[in-house]
Amino acid sequence: MIRKIVEKLHLDPPKTLVLGFALIILLGAFLLTLPVATIDGAGLSWLDALFTSTSATCVTGLVVVDTGTTFTLFGQLVILSLIQVGGLGFMTIATFFALIMRKRISLRERLLLQESLNQVSIEGIVRLAKLIIIFTAITEVIGGLLLALRFSFDMPVGRAFYYGFFHAISNFNNAGFDLMGDFSSLTRYVSDPVVTLVVCAMIILGGIGFIVVSEVFEYRQTKRLSLHTKVVLYTTACLILIGTGLIFILEYNNPKTLQPLSPLGKVLGSLYQSVTARTAGSNTLSIGDMRQSSLFLIILLMFIGASPGSTGGGIKTTTFATLIGAVIAQIKGKEDVIFFRQRLLPHVIYKSLTVTVIGMLVVIVVTMILTITEAGAEFLMILFEVTSAFATTGLSMGLTPLLTPIGKILIILTMFAGRLGPLTIAFALAQRKQKEYYRYPKGKIMIG
């Protein structure tokens, strides 16, 4: 259906991506308004259904109603389907079915795949889509089985398997939806090494990007890693370790978070919050009870987000690394940004700066508006919620269910922009480079 609409409208890849996600969100919202979708038989209101569908499709995880106690099996499966399609991209799913039916993948469809997966060329794009589907299926099955085995000690086996696979799919796609009830997420498993380590692994594998995963698995044969993969792995490891250490220190004596836990529980709780802040959305500590310093740290981690070509959001780890590299190079008086003995081209730095500034502007503008519409809420809570929406993280201090209708609409638009905005902007910039036939004379301004 989407393909026929696109062909009639003659849309370019970025516009097609936006239209495709919008149509999926609207379809999901319609299904969630049906009486069969909710336990009370009334269905969600259109605004709440649109919010939930947007959050699931944009793999965010912010919710206005509790997923586990509001929706029937039908409603939960709708949400799970939206998460899977939103995480992998509708073009990846469409390509998978086209390959099953032995249909030829056209050049236009390859271009759409390139845009959807944030790749620089169409070379090998169909092979990459196949690998993504296979890797996703294997990872979600293994993660689902491990979680199901652990949950089987706390609930009937049938429910344990359903819960295991739901949370595996949700967290691999960095969505953060949960079925535990009362907006509690995975807080009851804060000291559980199996749940913590399995879910953290799912989040990390879903968040580092499929290109990185592919290169790591093929390393035995190729004996090489691209600069992109090296930067992603190094930056991801640093952010996780630094985040874990700082949360451990800041929350160590907080009686509402880490203090009551065992030493192992403190480490696991700190690790989980550090990992999930990078766009996953589930949590094992009560976010609203964390100290302001920890919340501000999480805001920074959420804004950075996951890596390009992944299921996560944010400005991306490579963008952050590029900006830090540019700052260090400037301080040292060097002209080039060097990573692993390779020089970054100037346009990469400009793109990184553009994505970051636009992301900051979105967060600032929406936060300012919400301070007016949500007058009773604290500033930090509003900033946290907006950053979570933009970075498609899904962590919440508890403001989302209390939002006014205008507030809900603004967060919906922020989630949508966060999922598609930076990616589409980067693609558009790459396509609009024009040769300059003249240059203006140099001018000087004072900086700093």
Bridge partners for 343 per DSSP: 338
The token duo for 209 is 């990007």
Q: Which long-range contacts (CB under 8 A, 24 or more apart) does 258-267 make?
A: 258/285, 261/190, 261/191, 262/191, 264/191, 264/193, 265/190, 265/191
Q: Which long-range contacts (CB under 8 A, 24 or more apart) does 215-222 make?
A: none
Q: Say which residue the tokens 């962590």 belong to.
A: 395
Residue 340 three-state SS? coil
Please tell me the distance from the alpha carbon of residue 62 to that of residue 389, in angstroms, as a whole number.
Answer: 7
The token duo for 321 is 């690394």
Q: Is 61:281 a contact under the CB 8 Å cutoff?
A: yes
Helix (H) or strand (E) holding 370: helix 346-373
- Across 61-73, b (16+ Cβ under 10 Å) vs e yields bbbbbbbbebbbe
Residues 266-317: tens digit of each pLDDT: 999 999 999 999 878 889 999 989 999 999 999 999 999 888 877 778 889 9
Give the predicted TM-score (pTM) of the model: 0.87
pLDDT tens, N- to C-terminus, the chain (448 residues)? 545 554 555 555 666 677 778 888 999 999 999 999 999 988 899 999 999 999 998 888 889 999 988 999 999 999 999 998 887 765 565 555 555 555 565 555 565 555 555 555 555 666 667 777 888 889 999 999 999 999 999 999 999 999 999 999 999 888 889 998 888 889 999 999 999 999 999 999 888 887 888 888 888 888 888 888 999 999 999 999 999 999 999 999 999 999 999 999 999 999 999 999 987 888 999 998 999 999 999 999 999 988 887 777 888 999 999 999 999 998 988 888 889 888 988 888 988 898 899 899 999 999 999 999 998 889 999 999 999 999 988 898 889 888 999 999 999 999 988 887 655 654 554 555 556 667 778 777 766 6
pLDDT of residue 427: 53
Residue 29's closest CA among 84, 79, 86?
A: 79
Bridge partners for 38 per DSSP: 71
pLDDT of residue 312: 77
pLDDT of residue 436: 64
Q: At what angle do helices 107-116 and 125-151 cross, to 10 degrees?
A: 50
Please tell me the distance from the alpha carbon of residue 278 to that of residue 331, in angstroms, as a whole number.
Answer: 28
Bridge partners for 338 per DSSP: 343
Please tell me the distance from the alpha carbon of residue 334 to that of residue 270, in angstroms, as a whole number.
Answer: 37
pLDDT of residue 36: 94
The values of phi and psi at residue 71, to 5°, are -100, 150
Bridge partners for 59 per DSSP: none
Which sequence spans correspond to the domains of the chain? 2-430
pLDDT of residue 434: 57
pLDDT of residue 96: 55
